[in-house]
Amino acid sequence: MTESILLVEDDPSVRTTISTFLEMEGFEVEAVSSTRDAIRRLSETPYSLVISDIYIDDRTGIDVLMAARQQYANCSVILMTGRGTMETVMAATRNGAFDYLAKPFELDTLLEAVRRAIAAREPADDETEAEELPESEMIGSSAGMVEIYKTVSRVAPTDATVIIEGETGTGKELIARMIHRFSQRASQPFVPVDCSAIPAALLESELFGAMKGAFTGADRDRVGVFESANRGTVFLDEIGEIDAAFQVRLLRFLQERAIRPVGASREKQVDVRVVAATNRDLQKMVEEGKFREDLWFRLNVVRLTLPPLRERRVDVPLLTHYFLNKYNNRYNRDVKLTESGLATLRDFTWPGNVRQLQHLIERLTILAPNDRIDAEAVHDAVSAMEPGAPGGETLADTETEQIRRVLAATGGNKSRAAQILGIERKTLYRKLERMKL
Ligand SMILES: Nc1ncnc2c1ncn2[C@@H]1O[C@H](COP(=O)(O)OP(=O)(O)OP(=O)(O)O)[C@@H](O)[C@H]1O
Ligand SMILES: [Mg+2]
């Protein structure tokens, strides 16, 4: 029997390409360009599979998905989009979408997804109610990020331990927060712990707690993070930095889910989910004998590796517009981005990834000459942010002016100002001293 497919896509050239391709592969394809037509067709004819774009008109592919699942429990749906977000992937997964493709994709990728979807057709779950698609704070619709969203949407509702790897500034903490937010623990605490910022000697009492008198200075009982986060999620950031002794403690905790505060005689059971992150290569640390293999196995139930920004440059414009909008609002500015400015941003290597882009845009929103971010402004800002650059080798009066503007924008907050200027706080103080003279 020929399998019939309903294709919903508002872009005429994409529509033609996909339907021609699938017809050549032996499928019967009905192509429509609006959600209204799609929903009408679905009420008239049964289809084996629906392939739909997400952002179409006043309604979305999620509406098409729900209509399809309501009419025929065993109709598979593949959604595709160039603007996938964590929220759309979650909504699609919850409503029983079979697959989710980030545009652009190879036609062979589509064909594989189509074959899998048709092979796997099965009765659907109960109906779900309509969901709004809120704006995401996680920006990025590249294929690499959509793969991350897919894994997050599958793993978030479980209690599985997750290890998040990725270079600095790639969004590891943001992803950890998403995992918590889309879990059943969402209304319970999310407690981040920066393992590299706590001295090794204190990490144990910080996480497990300590009884009064357990050590000098412990003048009352201290509740540890694992206890205070009970029923929630603990985010162990920079997990690659913990020492050998603490690795043993953590391993035991992950096995037993019990804590014994320092100086206590009894253990108590706690219910926390652990999400950990590192910008180190833990697998390699295991090979080098610097990280316990058994602990690595316990953490590595689900592993997410965030791609660096230079490997998903299509996300640069999305992120840039998002941050520009955010900082224009915050600083009450109306800075515009030019074509050349955007091209320069897209081509940059971004060693500091999204965080670096974010800081750069914040800085440019305040400082861009003529309220325009063009190639030159980007070049200047990038070189000023280079570590070790003495505050951007600008002429003294331009520099003074820059410092004034940034301080005014931050309401005199010197730490924030130093961050935006890309210099150390000490350096800013020195410059301020000099300016007064
Ligand atoms: N995809 C994204 N969309 C929007 N903002 C992002 C995204 N990724 C990262 N950010 C922002 O960039 C900054 C750095 O992100 P985050 O703290 O999650 O990075 P990280 O991977 O934990 O970095 P580090 O290893 O340095 O701790 C944050 O302000 C975060 O909100
Ligand atoms: Mg981090």
Domain co-membership, 297 together with 165:
yes
Quote the pLDDT of residue 88.
Answer: 84
Q: Which ligand is nearest to the CA of 354?
A: 1
Q: How far is the CA of 163 from the centre of ligand 2 (A)?
A: 13
Q: What average pLDDT does range 60-65 have in this prediction? A: 89
In this predicted model, which residue has the larger pLDDT, 65 or 163?
Answer: 163
233 lines ligand 1 (CB under 6 A): no
Domain containing 51 — which CATH number?
3.40.50.2300
pLDDT digits (tens, 9 = 90+) for 63-111: 998 888 877 777 889 999 888 888 888 888 777 778 889 989 999 999 9
- Please state the φ and ψ torsions of residue 7, each to the nearest 5 degrees: -110, 125
pLDDT band at 409 (very low <50, low <70, confident <90, very high): confident
The parent domain of residue 414 ranges over 310-436
As a whole-number percent, the residues of the chain with pLDDT over 70 amount to: 93
321 lines ligand 1 (CB under 6 A): no
Domain co-membership, 129 together with 187:
no
358 lines ligand 1 (CB under 6 A): yes
Domain co-membership, 84 together with 168:
no
Quote the pLDDT of residue 435.
Answer: 76
Q: Which ligand is nearest to the CA of 419?
A: 1
pLDDT digits (tens, 9 = 90+) for 282-323: 999 999 999 999 999 999 999 999 999 999 999 999 899 999
Q: How far is the CA of 279 from the centre of ligand 2 (A)?
A: 8
3-state secondary structure string, the chain? Answer: CCCEEEEECCCHHHHHHHHHHHHHCCCEEEEECCHHHHHHHHHHCCCCEEEEECECCCCEHHHHHHHHHHHCCCCEEEEEECCCCHHHHHHHHHCCCCEEEECCCCHHHHHHHHHHHHHCCCCCCCCCCCCCCCCCCCCCCCHHHHHHHHHHHHHCCCCCCEEEECCCCCCHHHHHHHHHHCCCCCCCCEEEEECCCCCHHHHHHHHHCECCCCCCCCCCCECCHHHHCCCCEEEEECHHHCCHHHHHHHHHHHHHCEECCECCCCCEECCCEEEEEECCCHHHHHHCCCCCHHHHHHHCCEEEECCCHHHCCCHHHHHHHHHHHHHHHHCCCCCEECHHHHHHHHHCCCCCHHHHHHHHHHHHHHHCHHHEECHHHHHHHHHHHCCCCCCCCCCHHHHHHHHHHHHHHCCCCHHHHHHHHCCCHHHHHHHHHHHHC
Best-predicted range by mean pLDDT (15-29, 91-105, 114-128): 15-29
Residue nearest to atom 29 of ligand 1 (CA): 355
pLDDT digits (tens, 9 = 90+) for 348-397: 999 999 999 999 999 999 988 888 999 999 998 888 766 554 444 445 56
140 lines ligand 1 (CB under 6 A): yes
pLDDT band at 237 (very low <50, low <70, confident <90, very high): very high
- Is pLDDT of 56 > 80? yes
Pick the last residue of a domain from 85, 117, 141.
141
Quote the pLDDT of residue 393.
Answer: 44
Q: Assess if residue 149 is contained within a domain.
A: no
Q: How far is the CA of 410 from the centre of ligand 2 (A)?
A: 23
Lowest mean pLDDT among 9-13, 114-118, 433-437: 433-437
In this predicted model, which residue has the larger pLDDT, 95 or 426?
Answer: 426
Domain co-membership, 334 together with 427:
yes
Domain co-membership, 13 together with 30:
yes
Quote the pLDDT of residue 1.
Answer: 65
Per the structure, the count of domains in the chain is 3
Q: Assess if residue 150 is contained within a domain.
A: no
138 lines ligand 1 (CB under 6 A): yes
Q: What's the whole-number average pLDDT of the chain?
A: 88
**Pocket residue to mutate for ligand 1, from 135, 136, 173, most atoms within 8 A of Cβ:** 173
Residue nearest to atom 31 of ligand 1 (CA): 174
Quote the pLDDT of residue 66.
Answer: 87
Domain co-membership, 270 together with 160:
yes
Q: How far is the CA of 191 from the centre of ligand 2 (A)?
A: 13
Q: Assess if residue 148 is contained within a domain.
A: no
170 lines ligand 1 (CB under 6 A): yes
Domain co-membership, 271 together with 385:
no
**Pocket residue to mutate for ligand 1, from 141, 165, 174, 177, most atoms within 8 A of Cβ:** 174
Q: How far is the CA of 165 from the centre of ligand 1 (A)?
A: 12
Q: What is the pTM assigned to this prediction?
A: 0.74
**Nearest atom, ligand 1, residue 139 CA:** 3
Q: Which ligand is nearest to the CA of 315?
A: 1
Residue nearest to atom 24 of ligand 1 (CA): 168
Q: Assess if residue 288 is contained within a domain.
A: yes
Pick the last residue of a domain from 305, 339, 372.
305
Q: Assess if residue 19 is contained within a domain.
A: yes
Pick the last residue of a domain from 141, 166, 190.
141
